Structure 1
Amino acid sequence: MTTLNHLSGNAGCIGQYDPQALPLSAAQAIVLQWVTPLAASERVSLREALARVLAEDVISPIDVPAHNNSAMDGYAFDGAALATATTAGRLTLTVCGKAFAGHPYTGEVAEGTCVRIMTGAPMPAGCDTVVPQERVAVQGEAVTFEPGAVARGANARRKGEDLARGGVALAAGRVLHACDIGLLASLGLVEASVKQRLRVAYFSTGDELRSPGEPLEPGCIYDSNRYALGAMLHRLNVEAIDLGVVRDEPEALAATLKLAAETADVVLTSGGVSVGEADFTREQLQALGDVSFWGLAMRPGRPLAFGRIWSGGRPGAGRAALLFGLPGNPVATMVSFYQIVRPALMAMAGAKAQPVPLVPAVSEQPIRKRAGRTEFQRGLARRDAGGQWRVAPTGSQSSGALSTMSEANCFIVLAHEAGDLDAGDAVDIMLFDGLV
């Protein structure tokens, strides 16, 4: 974790710094300034490595492929024979043997002969070309084809052309996907060195919150944020620590924050960062640590606090953890997580930056937008017959309307400086697939 410098002091060096209404890009830059990737690593089996972050480069111990082999079912021969076609413009070769994957042909391939070969079988000595079986005419023990059916060297994979022995197969910082697990297995590896999992503590605040399954008393609501945060953290494969619901009492909140800082690298709260009389998170954050900003020029998600807290109850005392005080409205919580928290967690976990791509689209209807803040509206995108993405908002854009978040398949990303849009105007969309 970082040394005892002041977050707010460094934040003030960034242009457009306004702790109560910080532009999204500036907030993202500030947060990443204070992210320190985890140093600790461990070795895990390949079956446990999915979605973990590589701690070091994987060096290939073998050539891939390990030998020259056929990319097709067909007939292997010396491509020099293509220059000796008959005057009729056809080449005839006698089949002298067969080669299968795991059962290579080891005999001699004399001039004018070829080997029946299957996909993956090692190329016989002296052969460098494979003609596909569907391009030849079989006549007893001979095959005939037009020389133009294949070029010299075609359909033959070369030893090490995918990965050379000693080369980097996967770079440190990569989040391992299913294809990567297969690649590691193809190298004969049984383990991978990965970063230790990031520990993230999270809880909700509010006297009105009840957990699903509890009786819902008058004036109370079910706590959806804690469950959504838990699911979003699960997608990132961090060690998530659920600290439950904390009542609107400063002492209870302070105790939970200190416990969270003692046990986790990052602390997430939802609710309590606005300006209501019972919104204590911002107050306690200032008392227990260091606040960089507490408001964004973003919708939804304006009330968002970022800082650092110490388990000892004051700056510099005990163990430090970064804290994100997320807004209480459910959609605002999710938008804030995806735009601010998720990139920070991935960087702390040691993952190489992989921004979620923006896709150009056309708005199918007018969209109201106030300049001076970045907006993330819930949208339903589709591709028209010409391949163009088209998008329309999914009903209510209230930051409490989870139903329209559930109906959406993307965010419509409206830039900080943009104003109202007309139908047919260009917009960017951030597709949910791979994000949520």
Structure 2
Amino acid sequence: MSTAAPRTAGPDHLWSVDEHLDDILAAVRPLEPIELNLLDAQGCVLVDDVTVPLSLPPFDNSSMDGYAVRVVDVAGASEQYPAALEVVGDVAAGQADLLQVGPGQAVRIMTGAPLPPGAETVVPVEWTDGGLGEGPVAAMRARSSAPEGDTGQVLVYRPAEARAHVRAKGSDVRAGDRALEAGTVLGPPQISLLAAIGRGTVRVRPRPRVVVMSTGSELVQPERKLSAGQIYDSNSFSLTACARDAGAIAYRVGAVSDDVDTLRDTIEDQLVRADLMVTTGGVSVGAYDVVREALSSVGDEDEPGSGIDFRKLAMQPGKPQGFGSIGPDHTPLLALPGNPVSSYVSFELFARPAIRTLMGLKDVHRPRKRATLTAGGALSSPKGRRQFLRGRYADGEVAPVGGAGSHLVAALAQANALIVVPEETESVVSGADVEVILLG
């Protein structure tokens, strides 16, 4: 995998959201395909179309426990005048040697067993006396207690049409059909289908490995005691969960202090297991120089194309951003703001599409809808910036949740959408038509 260097602009250039996203997606490339065992391939994206090598089911088989018979032999059967058939044997699932069903004969058959030659239909055991000379009410009990291989006579109390309770060969898929299309994300049903057609391995793009790291000397891990001026590190947990939700294998690194050497050493240690690195904090004025200095000297300084570009975006929240690549393998890195809402919104807009691009997916973005704003009053938005407000969406309507502050974690936990207010819009009134990005 190679990542192109980010575009650069003057320090006063204000990047649009679309410019920044386009820059990221133009630089990030899908991971190289690998062959994986089926269970290891879960969550990965299929590289090639998969063609069915054999039909499913591969043979006609019974969908019920019962008796395989000829249609003519049970025609007109009733409670008063049951059809009496000779039971010539059993056929179980997986059995290869099959008995021939002739006139006036029946073969006791189990669910999934091949339909024996000569048989045209299956009579469920509930329609019979179970082969023990009893009425249909006792059929189920009789079937469970009948000795294996028992022969004799069975009474059938109802007629059956041709091919009744028979799963036809190829009724699921036929040999030569396309089972799965390239670009499919392999979930449990797809893994099941691959196994059913005899595939033990499959060629996929692996799930990207994403390392998430918080920066800030004020950060403390949960369950530890806070001292004055300290806060708990929630961002690394939030963004690691976001990365997993996007389809990545995510690794969370505990908060790193604002020390150049410590930060640089930690990043270098983590590069070995990263297809993408995401940092949060240290990109705004103040800690800016520490992060920039640490990132500028990670890996091979002489490697062309490496480097992180720190930039300002015309958005709220999430104005300060960084993007580029580091190390000899040009590992892409996204440097996100430290405020909880800013980091979360930035991840959804930029890191999630990058992860899904690495996976090789065609559609890398969250779904978007139009909705009616149901706020009690007007929403304000800064001119020249695209604002992303937390909202609760349902049935074509969306209501804001909490305020615009980038620290409001409790409000974020109640949101299932982002309300998008365009750069040229400074006020949105209740009842207005707005764009929303659906989360989850």
Could you tell me which residue of structure 1 aligns to residue 7 of structure 2? 8
Following superposition of structure 1 onto structure 2, how do residues 26-425 of structure 1 map, counting pairs within 5 Å?
Answer: 26-46=19-39, 48-67=40-59, 94=76, 159-160=169-170, 162-276=172-286, 280-286=290-296, 289-292=306-309, 294-310=311-327, 318-365=328-375, 366-382=378-394, 388-425=395-432
In the TM superposition, what is the alpha-carbon distance from 1:326 to its structure 2 partner? 0.6
Q: Residues 53 and 197 of structure 2 are in contact (CA less than 8 Å); yes or no, is this contact kept in structure 1?
A: yes
Which residue in 2 is equivalent to 1:86? none
Local SS of the residue matching 2:254: strand
- Structure 1 residue 69: Cα displacement: 7.6
Residue 65 of structure 1: how far off its partner (Å): 4.2
Tell me the secondary structure at the aligned position of residue 61 of structure 1. Answer: coil
Structure showing greater Rg: 2
Cα distance between partner residues in 2 of 1:427 and 1:228: 27
Question: C-alpha displacement at 1:324, in angstroms?
Answer: 0.4
Which moved further from structure 2: 232-241 or 342-351?
232-241
- Cα distance in 2 for residues equivalent to 1:360 and 1:127: 58
Unaligned runs of 5+ in 1: 77-91, 110-116, 131-139, 146-151, 311-317, 383-387
The 1:59–1:144 alpha-carbon spacing in structure 2 relative to 1, beyond 3 Å, is: closer
Cα distance in 1 for partners of 2:368, 2:164 equals 39
Per-residue displacement from partner, 1:306-334 (whole Å, max 9, x unpaired)? 11122xxxxxxx33211100100011111
Bigger mean CA offset, 221-230 vs 323-332: 221-230
- After superposition, the Cα gap between the structure-2 partners of 1:321 and 1:64, relative to the gap in structure 1 and judged at 3 Å, is same
CA distance in 1, matches of 2:64, 2:379: 54
Partner in structure 2 of residue 385 of structure 1: none
What RMSD, in angstroms, separates the aligned Cα atoms of the two structures? 4.4
Residue 272 (structure 1) shift: 0.7
Deviations 1:348-405 (A, max 9, x none): 13334343222332111133234533332211223xxxxx422211122311111001
Shift of the 416–278 alpha-carbon distance from structure 1 to 2, 3 Å rule, reads: closer
**TM-score with structure 1 length normalisation?**
0.72
- Residue 318 of structure 2 aligns with an amino acid whose one-letter code is G
Q: How big is each residue's C-alpha offset from its partner over 1:186-243, in whole Å with a ceiling of 9 and x where there is no partner?
A: 3243444443442322211111111113221111111111111222233345343433
Structure 2 unpaired stretches of 5+:
69-73, 78-82, 104-108, 123-155, 299-305
> Aligned with 1:294: secondary structure?
strand
- Structure 1 pair 105–28 and aligned structure 2 pair: CA distance change class (3 A): farther
Residue 194 of structure 2: SS of its match in structure 1? helix
Partners of 1:239 and 1:376 lie apart in 2 by: 27
Structure 1 vs Structure 2: percent identity of aligned residues? 35
Structure-1 separation of matches of 2:117 and 2:176: 25
Distance 2:11 2:112 in 1: 62
TM-score, with structure 2 as normaliser: 0.71
SS in 1 for 2:381: coil
| Alignment partners' CA distance in 2, 1:153 and 1:354 | 46
> Retained in 2: the 8 A contact 1:22–1:293?
no
Question: Quick check: 21-30 or 323-332, which moved more?
Answer: 21-30
Residue aligned with 1:381, SS: strand
Aligned counterparts of 1:331 and 1:63: Cα–Cα separation in 2: 52
State the Cα distance separating 1:423 from its structure 2 match. Answer: 1.3
Give the SS at the match of 1:8.
coil
